[in-house]
A and B are shown apart, each in its own frame.
Chain A
Amino acid sequence: MPAAKDNERKLNMDGILTVVCFILLLIIVVIPIFMIIYNAFFFEGKFSLDLFTTQMTDSKNLSAMWNTVQIAILTTIIGTIMGVFYAWLLGRSDIPAKGLMRALFNIPYMFPPFLGAMAWDLLLNGRSGYLNKWLRTTFGLSQMPFNINTIWGIVFVEVSYYFPFVFMQVVSALERMDPTLEESARIAGAKQGTVIWKITLPLMKPSISAGALLILTTSLAHFGVPSILGYAQGIYTLPTRIYAVIYNSTGSFEGIRQGAALSVMLVVVVALALILQNKILSSGSYDIIKGKSMRPTLIKLRGAKIPLLILAIFTLVLIVLVPLVMIFLISFIKAYGLPLKFENFTFAQYQKVFNMNGTLDSIKNSLILSISAGIISMFLGTLVAYVVQKIKPKGKEVLEVISVLPYSIPGTVLSIGVILAWSGAIFGISLYNTLWIILIAYIARYLSFSMKTSSAALLQVHSSLEEAARVCGASHTESLSDITLPLIRPAMVSGFFLIFLPAMREVTTSILLYGPKTMTLGVKIYSLRDAGMIPQAAALASVAIVIIIILNTIVTEITKERKGV
């Protein structure tokens, strides 16, 4: 009976999609993670804790671990307080120019923190920072007033880039909060301060802890800022230590194995932090957000308005404007160390940087990598989301966890896994020093972004829409292409940009994976600076910033248009 056969084929298509999904995730995610664990604990096929114990007892590693934890905790606490404070100020008070300030507060989110670290290093370096030198001569100090190359310096730069995580979460929750919750407390006789402390803040707890968690895990895994600010003073964190170990061993297998052992340590630290945070901040989520759009009443700042406005503007200047201006200024300087005077300015650095071997290649590589990682992850993430949401096979939870896993694993660790897996260990496939290996790492790292957006969109597509198409005479495939895909296309596109933008400025993963011909834009800036070519690094960084701004504007325009439909 041909009809029966038809039906079988449909069942098979679901089956094929599921199998494809599992296989791709196995290759991209499971194998690298497995390789790290295997190499950390097994040597020449035998179980051995030797490597692990020597690494664990090495005082350098232990101090790196302690630094990592210290920096992450300080960054989380300060970043959270700052994020909540500004969210409240811009979300619920009557401070002027809210819209503009909100947009400006989101800027740090766009830029790679290592550029900020570069800028602050130029300003406040303990030996030669421009601002330091100026302060010393102006006020006749005996020594440099600031030193950014310390734990606190690293915390300062990380806070200025990571507090938006909390800020954005809380500000949107504050705006959607049901105002009657606060109003009834006022009516019951509570003072304004009491309301903020006893009602608003506890209600915001879920969004605050979500943002704080993001800061904590990002900071623990962060490579850029501590590597730029810490190396000179010998301050290492686990991610920079892993990089140093591998870099110093010039890519030998022993170095990579040590890196793998350190990676396991880092993963353990991240996991402990997650558990700890869950314990401290565990709280039920409240249903405080109503579907009705109600405008919460704004709180009058009265006399505090002007001082708070000045504080907010000062913060913005400090975290957004100063680093940007500094990078641009240095990119025009004739030679590093010359005073920032107009007669010392030139365009020559741009010329030099673009005449240099590999600069254009690095931009090209980053574009190729981020576009292809964006497209591939977009489709793969949608595939996983479709299998999980619609086909619902046995083991769909496993599928979901696997696809989200790489994002909670530090980028450095992921890179080591990819190196271990694809340098000939499996079927003799060696992708080392090619763009492919970076691409695989990017896909693994960013897959969860597109998976989540597509998943959310698919949830909105009620299965009766697809079924209606089937009943109207569309085959299974036709109902997918006519109904489901067009409906989730906007989400897929935004998933693409969510991957494309961070991949464009990525350093952490690619710094361990790049080869002579596969430098990415981020790595190129980083290594120019590392080689002491600071004005050239600043010139390329300025180009990168301009590219990022242009891309962001395009994305905002595109997403705006789509929302209009």
Chain B
Amino acid sequence: MANVRFENITVGYGGHMVLKDFSLEVQSGQIVCLVGPSGCGKTTLVRALLGLNKPETGTITVGDKVLFDAKKHINVPAEKRNIGIVFQDYAVWPHMTVIENVSYPLKKQRRPKDEIKQRAMHALEQVRMTEYANHLPSQLSGGQQQRVAIARALVTDSDVVVMDEPITNLDAKLREEMLLEIRMIQNRLGATILYITHDQQSALQLCDKMAIMQPDGSLCQFGSDEEIILNPANRFVFEFIGVSNFIPVVSMGGKYALDCGEKLPLPAELNPGNENIAGKELGVRLNDVVFDKQSPLRAKVSSRIFLGSEYNYFLRLGQKEIRVQQDMLAARLYGTPEEGEEIGVTFLNPHYYDPKPPEQAAAVVESGKKKKFSLFGKGA
């Protein structure tokens, strides 16, 4: 049991800053998901924690143990940090059997043979892989190799386990199962888990807390998943965590209007109060667009798709196309209009953000570049 603290971490590759003054504290015994687009520095941060790269500034502590301190010149080597890791590509050693893979960390701790065997088998039990103990990794499926990697990370009872996108290579069903399993294992062991992903869906399923990172490597929000979904800190978080519609807001005769090719007056109940929103954009999630016969905002259904547990619509609002997701309950409550039908719509929980500045486009290119750097860091 230990908390993990990053303070003012700066990491650069060849003059390019990936992380700058990054700070984050992960509470003991929690699953924290580090979420961000590819190339934002998640992996770089974790590699700093593992001791695989050396930050230029800052400190890293686990519990009361200082692993890295730039000022005091402390840099505990990777092999002495006692952190479990599940790599994205599993990194299960192909020339060792499952049991040899799992025993390796204990062997390096020079434990007695009986203990190694017993603990390795126990770790395999936890991931339900005991019957494969003497298989070679090449005889296992991707999901099974995954579990071997997890068992290897858990076998030394590390206080902290890092998982770097461990389920991206699995199929949807197995992904679901593995997420549940990670949750259950964590419940049993109480380890602190730092889980890295760019997929907000699995993050939502798994985490106690989420840390959202922006493409420039800064932390933009850290909180429970509810907080992040309901009160996104900025436009980046709002956009990153789900799909949304954006409609520009303009002022029209002292009031606000939505600019959908033609100007549609903004219904009074959507007005956020004394904040000036002219020139901003209204952002609304797909499932926060609801049908309302009374609403003065009229839209035309251009298509309706039934997806089993929900309906997806494309609506024409003025000249603008907006997307709608409607779950079955909403479908019961508000009806399912036909294609071509005109219907009133309203927005629940709208957010108002500044429009994307033009340099945002440049930032995308930048993040592409960064991706290369972080890949380089991975040694790919």
Complex Cα distance, B83 from A7, in Å, reads 17
Closest to B74 in A: A1
Do B73 and A471 touch (CB < 8 A)?
A: no
B50 partner, pick from A1, A463, A471, A473, beta carbons under 8 A:
A471
B356 close to chain A: CB less than 8 A: no
Does more than half of chain B's interface fall in helix, strand or loop, or is it mixed? loop
Whether A467 contacts B379 by the Cβ 8 Å rule is: yes
| A470 partner residues in chain B, CB cutoff 8 A | 50-52, 77-79
Q: Does A401 contact B (CB under 8 A)?
A: no
- Complex contact A4–B79 (CB within 8 A): no
CB distance from A481 to the nearest CB of B (A): 12
Q: When each residue 470-496 of chain A gets 1 if its CB lies under 8 Å from chain B and 0 otherwise, what string results?
A: 111111001000110011000000000
Q: What residues of chain A lie closer than 8 Å to B72, measured between beta carbons? A: 1
Bound Cα distance A471, B156 (Å): 11
Partner of A467 from the list B52, B74, B77, B84 (CB cut-off 8 Å) is B52
Q: How far is the CA of A474 from the CA of B88 in the complex (A)?
A: 20
Q: Report B-chain residues with C-beta under 8 Å of the C-beta of A462.
A: 89, 91, 379-380
B95 within 8 A of A: yes
Residues of A within 8 A of B156 (CB): 472-473
CB proximity to A under 8 Å, residues B32-81: 50-52, 72-81
Give the residue of B77, B88, B93, B108 whose beta carbon is less than 8 angstroms from that of A6. B77
Contact with B along A377-412 (1 / 0, CB 8 A): 000000000000010000000000000000000000
- Which of chain A's residues have a CB closer than 8 A to the CB of B109? 473
Chain B 256-285 near chain A by CB (<8 Å), digits 1 or 0 = 000000000000000000000000000000
Partner of B378 from A463, A468, A473, A483 at Cβ < 8 Å:
A463
Assess A471 versus B85: contact at CB under 8 Å? Given A3-B76, A464-B378: yes
> Does A469 interact with chain B (Cβ within 8 Å)?
yes
Residues of chain A with a CB closer than 8 A to B311's CB: none
Q: Which residue of B lies closest to A11 (CB)?
A: B54
Contact A464 B95 (CB under 8 A): no
A465 to B74, CA, bound (A): 25
Q: Is residue B152 contacting chain A, with contact meaning CB distance below 8 A?
A: yes
* Contacts A467-B78, A472-B156 supplied; 5 other A-B pairs, CB < 8 Å: A1-B72, A462-B91, A465-B93, A471-B52, A483-B93
Which of A6, A10, A468, A473 meets B91, CB within 8 Å? A468
Do residues B74 and A473 form an inter-chain contact, with CB atoms below 8 A?
A: no
User: Cα distance A462–B88 when bound, in Å?
Assistant: 12
B378: A residues at CB distance < 8 A: 463-464
Interface: B94 (CB within 8 A): yes
How many whole Å from B159's CB to the nearest CB in chain A?
A: 14
Among residues of B, the one whose C-beta sits closest to the C-beta of A490 is B95
Residues of B within 8 A of A486 (CB): 95
Q: A462-B91, A465-B93, A468-B91 are in contact. Are A7 and B77 (CB under 8 A)?
A: yes
Q: How large is the interface on A (under 10, 10 to 19, 20 to 34, 35 or more residues)?
A: 20 to 34
Q: Tell whether A471 pairs with B95 under 8 Å between CB atoms, given A464-B87, A464-B379.
A: no
Q: How large is the interface on B (under 10, 10 to 19, 20 to 34, 35 or more residues)?
A: 20 to 34
Smallest distance from the beta carbon of A477 to chain B beta carbons, Å? 11
| Chain B residues whose C-beta falls within 8 Å of the C-beta of A6 in the assembled complex | 77, 80
A478 to B108, CA, bound (A): 9
A-B residue pairs in contact (CB < 8 Å), sample of 8: A1-B73, A3-B74, A464-B88, A467-B379, A468-B87, A468-B91, A470-B78, A471-B50
Whether the Cβ atoms of B78 and A468 lie closer than 8 Å is no
CA distance A487 to B92 in the complex (A): 12
Once the chains are docked, how many angstroms separate the CA of A100 from the CA of B167?
A: 47
Q: Is the CB of B152 within 8 A of A472?
A: yes
Known: A462-B91, A467-B379, A486-B95. A473 touches B75 (CB 8 A): no
A10: which B residues are within 8 A, CB to CB?
77
Residues of B within 8 A of A475 (CB): 77, 79
User: Are B91 and A465 in contact, CB atoms less than 8 angstroms apart?
Assistant: yes
Contact A471 B79 (CB under 8 A): yes
Q: Name the CB-closest residue of B to A460.
A: B94
* Chain B residue with Cβ nearest A389: B379
Q: Does B232 contact A (CB under 8 A)?
A: no
Q: Which residues of B contact A474 (CB under 8 A)?
A: 79, 104, 108
* Residues in chain A near residue B215, CB distance under 8 A: none
Q: Is the CB of B93 within 8 A of A468?
A: yes
Cα–Cα distance between A439 and B360 once the two chains are bound (Å): 62
Please report the C-alpha to C-alpha distance between residue A1 and residue B76 in the assembled complex, in whole angstroms.
9
* Residue B105 is within 8 A (CB to CB) of chain A in the complex: yes
User: For the complex, what is the distance from the CA of A474 to the CA of B89, rounded to whole Å?
Assistant: 19
Residues of chain B in range 338-359 having any CB-CB distance to chain A below 8 Å: none
Chain B residue at minimum C-beta to C-beta distance from A478 = B108
A487-B94 contact given A472-B105, A474-B108, CB 8 Å threshold:
yes
Contacting residues, chain B, for A463 (C-beta < 8 A): 378-380
Q: How far, in whole Å, are A471 and B163 apart by their CA atoms in the complex?
A: 13
* Known contacts A465-B91, A467-B91, A471-B83, A3 near B105 by CB under 8 Å: no
Closest to A3 in B: B76
**Which B residues lie within 8 Å of A468 (CB)?**
85, 87, 91, 93, 152
With A463-B379, A464-B91, A474-B79 as contacts: A4 and B152 at CB distance below 8 Å: no
- Bound-complex Cα distance A138 to B100 (A): 74
In the complex, chain A residues whose CB is within 8 Å of the CB of B73: 1, 4
- CA distance in complex: A99, B85 (Å): 48
Cα A208 to Cα B51 with chains together (Å): 48
In the complex, A467 Cα to B164 Cα: how many Å? 13
What chain A residues lie within 8 Å of B78 (beta carbons)? Answer: 467, 470-471
In the bound complex, CA of A10 to CA of B79 (Å)? 12
Q: For residue B75, which residues in chain A have a CB less than 8 angstroms away from its CB?
A: 3-4, 7
Structural contact, A472 and B104, CB atoms closer than 8 A: yes
**A residues in contact with B104, CB < 8 Å:** 469, 472, 474, 482
Q: How far is the CA of A390 from the CA of B380 in the complex (A)?
A: 10
* B-chain residues with CB within 8 Å of residue A472 when the two chains form the complex: 79, 104-105, 108, 152, 156
Q: Which residues of B contact A471 (CB under 8 A)?
A: 50-52, 78-79, 81, 83-85
Please tell me if the beta carbons of B93 and A473 are within 8 angstroms of each other in the complex.
Answer: no
User: Contact: A467 with B79, CB < 8 Å?
Assistant: no
Complex Cα distance, B379 from A390, in Å, reads 8
Interface hub of B77, B94, B104 (most chain A Cβ within 10 A): B77
Q: Are B105 and A473 interface neighbours, CB within 8 A?
A: yes
Residue of B nearest to A9 (CB): B77
State the CA gap A1–B77 with chains docked (Å). Answer: 12
Which one of B80, B84, B89 lies within 8 Å of A464 (CB-CB)?
A: B89
How distant is the Cα of A475 from the Cα of B108 in the complex, in angstroms? 9
Cα distance, A483 to B92, chains bound together (Å): 10
In the complex formed, the residue of B with least CB distance to A10 is B77
A-B pairs, top 9 by smallest CB distance, nearest first, are A463-B379, A473-B108, A472-B105, A468-B91, A470-B78, A464-B91, A464-B87, A3-B76, A471-B85
> Within 8 Å CB of B52, what residues of A?
467, 470-471
Set of chain A residues within 8 Å of B84, measured between Cβ atoms: 471
How many angstroms from the CA of A292 to the CA of B82 in the assembled complex?
42
For A473, give the chain B residue with the smallest CB separation. Answer: B108
* CB <8 Å contact, A487 and B95: yes
* Cα distance, A467 to B153, chains bound together (Å): 13
A565 CB to nearest B CB, Å: 9
B94 CB contacts on chain A under 8 angstroms: 487
A191 vs chain B, min Cβ distance (A): 45
Q: What does the 1/0 interface line of B234-255 toward A look like (CB < 8 Å)?
A: 0000000000000000000000
A3 to B74, CA, bound (A): 7
Q: How far is the CA of A1 from the CA of B51 in the complex (A)?
A: 16
CB-based nearest A residue for B94: A487
- From 201 to 239 in chain A, residues with beta carbon under 8 angstroms from any chain B beta carbon are none
Residues of A within 8 A of B108 (CB): 472-474, 478
